[in-house]
Amino acid sequence: ILNVEQSPQSLHVQEGDSTNFTCSFPSSNFYALHWYRWETAKSPEALFVMTLNGDEKKKGRISATLNTKEGYSYLYIKGSQPEDSATYLCAFYRAGGTSYGKLTFGQGTILTVHP
């Protein structure tokens, strides 16, 4: 059984605050780590696909880092805006066997940004 854990489960911040979330995953058989943003009534939207230890990726005010040796990834949001309110999901893609690219998700972090 693969355990992908995210923390915190929920977070309330004020507009303008910077925030970060954690995703921990198995450090063995690593292939890729995905971050998704899921707004209510919309499709989950891919933010990053990270594959290399030490990877850092950035999209606007959102960035992510990856440590495959210790099995964690951080997602950072700088200067949060109300439109950043969403559930942030990380998903682990395991190498080898017959995984066929299926993703194992964490339970998500629900971010609410208050104006």
Partner 1 sequence: DTGVSQNPRHKITKRGQNVTFRCDPISEHNRLYWYRQTLGQGPEFLTYFQNEAQLEKSRLLSDRFSAERPKGSFSTLEIQRTEQGDSAMYLCASSLPARGVSSYEQYFGPGTRLTVT
Q: What Å distances lie between residue 14 and 20, 78, 114, CA to CA?
A: 13, 12, 5
Region 70-109 residues binding partner 1, contact defined as CB under 8 A: 89, 91, 93, 98, 100-108
First to last CA, the chain: 40
User: Residue 13 interacts with partner 1 (CB under 8 A)?
Assistant: no
Tokens encoding 79: 């200067």
User: Residue 31 interacts with partner 1 (CB under 8 A)?
Assistant: yes
Alpha-carbon distance of 37 to 61, in angstroms, equals 13
User: What is the residue type of 86?
Assistant: A
Q: Which segment (13-21, 42-50, 60-68, 69-77) binds partner 1 by CB under 8 A? A: 42-50
User: What is the residue type of 57?
Assistant: K
**For residues 14 and 43, which CB has a smaller minimum distance to partner 1 in the complex?**
43
Minimum separation from the CB atom of position 8 to partner 1 (A): 13
Q: Which residues bind partner 1 (CB under 8 A)?
A: 4, 6, 31-32, 34, 36, 41-46, 49, 51, 89, 91, 93, 98, 100-108
